[in-house]
């Protein structure tokens, strides 16, 4: 695999979908870790949780530290899984800080998700769904649908960034890399949900 | 205008060899068959990468700063270059040696 280093100009497209061509390691970690924590804490304003590597749900009111812990668990779980996967399938030497740093930065799209969940119509409609209220409000439904669409797009963008981060930091490409990444996503989803459930039990016990 | 050294035959794609070397000062010419050095058989971009790697004293971190890209990007490029050089080395060991020719 040969990376093209002589880019004629810094493309916005590259910055949006593969910023790891330019940023990795400590710089990515320094930028990404605050993003992980801020996005998670923003969930407190909309009572929504990043309760899994890919998950984002309206949920219980919990202590502020719990929101931050969820974000950190999701990041650490995926970082650890992809680091281990890279050690198995990559023929290159790579650094753990590149894997963890780029995975943190890849979660940038999560910044927008709690903001979308704060839309007034979304909150009202979510409350109706949770109360099994069948009252139909067109404006609220429209806001809810648009927020969901926006959140789904952010998740897709995040997954693409996570794969690119894995590909660049571990120097893996092709079908094997994609297959391993998808497997890591499934395992990561299960593992992160289990860890967050344990954390919730601990929180309720306090 | 800087001319690029052709390294592959435009007709069959095999590696070219130097057949005649000439001194521009005294016009002495030497004829024979000389294999091109391995590094000369890399493309322009790879040769420049090697040059920059040497002038950065082998520091990939400095090289990444020079190119304005991330460390893994430079690392991955180096791995690709290593693979290319190994291909060329393998090609050299398989080629018939002078003393083995009939």
Q: Choose the closest CB to B71 out of A1, A5, A98.
A: A98
Q: Which residues contact A75 (CB under 8 A, 6 or more apart)?
A: A32, A33, A36, A100, A103, A104, A107
Query: What residues 122-161 of chain A have any CB closer than 8 A to a CB of chain B?
Result: none
Residue in the structure block whose two tokens are 């060991």:
B93
Interface touch A168/B77, C-beta < 8 Å: no
The pLDDT confidence band at residue B73, using thresholds 50, 70 and 90, is very high
Q: Which residues of A touch B45 (CB under 8 A)?
A: 5-6
The pLDDT confidence band at residue B99, using thresholds 50, 70 and 90, is very low
Q: Average pLDDT, whole number, for chain A?
A: 90
Q: DSSP assignment, residue B8?
A: B
- Tokens coding A56: 């984002």
The predicted pLDDT at position A5 comes to 60
Query: Which residue did the predictor score with more confidence, A138 or A30?
Result: A30
Q: Which residues contact A125 (CB under 8 A, 6 or more apart)?
A: A137, A140, A141, A143, A144
How far is the C-alpha of A192 from the C-alpha of A143, rounded, in Å? Answer: 30
Judged against a pLDDT cut of 60, whether residue A194 lies above it is answered with yes
Buried residues in A27-39 as b, exposed as e (16+ CB within 10 A): ebbeebbebbbeb
Chain B contact present for A25, CB below 8 A: yes
Judged against a pLDDT cut of 90, whether residue B35 lies above it is answered with no
Judged against a pLDDT cut of 80, whether residue A59 lies above it is answered with no
Residue B74 contacts residue B64 (beta carbons within 8 Å):
yes
């Amino acid at each position: 695999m040969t990376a093209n280093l002589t880019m004629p100009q810094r493309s916005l497209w590259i910055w949006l979908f593969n910023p790891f061509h330019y940023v990795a390691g400590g710089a990515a970690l320094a930028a990404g870790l605050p993003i992980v924590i801020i996005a998670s804490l923003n969930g407190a304003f909309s009572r929504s949780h990043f309760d899994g590597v890919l998950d984002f749900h309206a949920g219980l009111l919990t202590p502020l530290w719990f929101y931050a812990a969820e974000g950190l668990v999701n990041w650490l779980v995926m970082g650890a899984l992809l680091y281990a996967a890279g050690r198995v399938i990559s023929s290159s030497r790579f650094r753990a800080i590149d894997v963890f740093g780029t995975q943190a930065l890849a979660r940038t799209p999560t910044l927008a998700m709690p903001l979308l969940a704060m839309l007034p119509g979304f909150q009202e409609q979510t409350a109706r769904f949770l109360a099994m209220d069948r009252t139909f409000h067109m404006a609220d439904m429209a806001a809810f649908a648009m927020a969901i669409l926006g959140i789904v797009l952010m998740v897709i963008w995040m997954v693409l960034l996570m794969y690119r981060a894995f590909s660049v930091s571990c120097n893996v490409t092709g079908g094997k890399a994609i297959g391993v990444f998808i497997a890591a996503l499934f395992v990561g989803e299960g593992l992160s949900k289990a860890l967050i459930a344990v954390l919730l039990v601990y929180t309720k016990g306090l | 205008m800087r001319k690029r050294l052709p390294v592959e035959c435009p007709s069959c794609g095999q590696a070219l060899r130097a057949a005649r070397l000439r001194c521009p000062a005294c016009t002495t010419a030497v004829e024979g068959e000389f294999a091109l050095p391995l590094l000369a058989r890399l493309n322009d971009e790879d040769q420049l990468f090697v040059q920059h790697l040497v002038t950065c004293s082998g520091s990939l971190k400095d090289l990444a700063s020079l190119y304005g890209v991330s460390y893994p990007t430079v690392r991955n490029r180096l791995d690709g270059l290593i693979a290319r050089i190994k291909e060329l080395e393998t090609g050299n060991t398989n080629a018939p040696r002078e003393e083995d020719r009939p």
